[in-house]
Structure 1
């Protein structure tokens, strides 16, 4: 029997939530049709988008405050950039985010805190400090990380990273069917996590846009979001300002917001549930509009034609 929260329901329309149950992280319960913004807070000096704007502790704490005020449901804290670069040891990663997680937890007792790490030793520390979710963006390269999630009661993000080592850029990647590979890989990681003791309603899958993929692969993964949703696992889309958006539009990283929001709206309509984002307010508004069109949220105000 599958360990997914709910088996797919035949004939369910895209994004209606009939295939899935609630997502439970920390003190929060996110409903099956409730889109969730995961705000990015990078404690790194060399992040590709903000160039280290939240590397300092004061700046990072301010970013957390701002993201929560703008509608983020999850705060995702990272200490190592995804791209190749200087070596960042586990000790250095912990210097950047260990302790900081505890300070965020103390300041925001009910916030859902995620930590972007692929290392079990880092996961163990941040889980003890109050992290509710371990965001493993490199596809289970450290198999003990899922064990840490199970032991601590944290949730786990299971990502397709093209079967590459961490911080590796893809080169001439090829798949017979990229989405079939994504589904098989993330489902296997999710099933293993549940078998180890991670709660099924705290497991999320991520197709891993641009990780082990060229831009056409990432576009196809977005176009076929429904196939990921059909697994029954909540789907996270980490698309914010990524290279596939830049190559689709021929835009530099600072001019990719419109493309990111278009991809966000499409994948939300197709049933994805969590959206990792640099620009929280804009992403929140885009998702609120998708909800209004779908009919799962009412108007924020109603004036036209009523007076």
Structure 2
């Protein structure tokens, strides 16, 4: 069982909905698609207060289940006009799960730029964002950590989102407190900006209550063991997501020259300088850290 919050930004009221059974299992991307269709989002102006901005996570968010802590963000895209789901890693989805939340929807728009905070007790409060306006994501995060401490996760509308730039995303905290994880594409940051929400702050808690904790922990261990034995998973751990650029270049699947070429370089003759292998070697040469 998890709670879902419907937050009215205009009058700063919160309605709570209880998710059980399949509702919990189908939260995240599935919920966003169904909810946006059901509420008629296709007919709203994307940068108006009528466009709901949904943040939702899957059923294992808040645990140490691999890949279970991504957060999905959805709305009607101001860039394409279609239903948009953008997702990100980091600690924001983890924090939602720890708070016992399947997610929340931001309805309407605030009258002034605001910071929204969800406490350990699940209480939602609002404060002024005047001192944060125009700051870079990293400077904004530093100010928010001064205000709320280190045991929080942040979702930030950056400067481009403030002026409703249609390519803007929403930045989320990573495990080192850097706002380096991005729900990108589709203009979800512009929708957050249109709602005048500069930042969302979630208190970090502990693993949520589980119906059968022992069974879940056992499944986590079993799944992690499978990942350690999987060659593809280990390559992704070593080279990161950029490894997919190497793969797609090899397969001829890159959109080079409007998909007429498919490859940036011939992998048998040249180095793919936008791929994970090259980037990893470059980072190591510069004294950087890799997985």
TM-score category (smaller protein): under 0.3
TM-score w.r.t. the length of structure 1 is: 0.24
| Greater Rg over alpha carbons, structure | 2
If asked which structure has higher relative contact order (CA below 8 Å, sep 6+), I would say 1
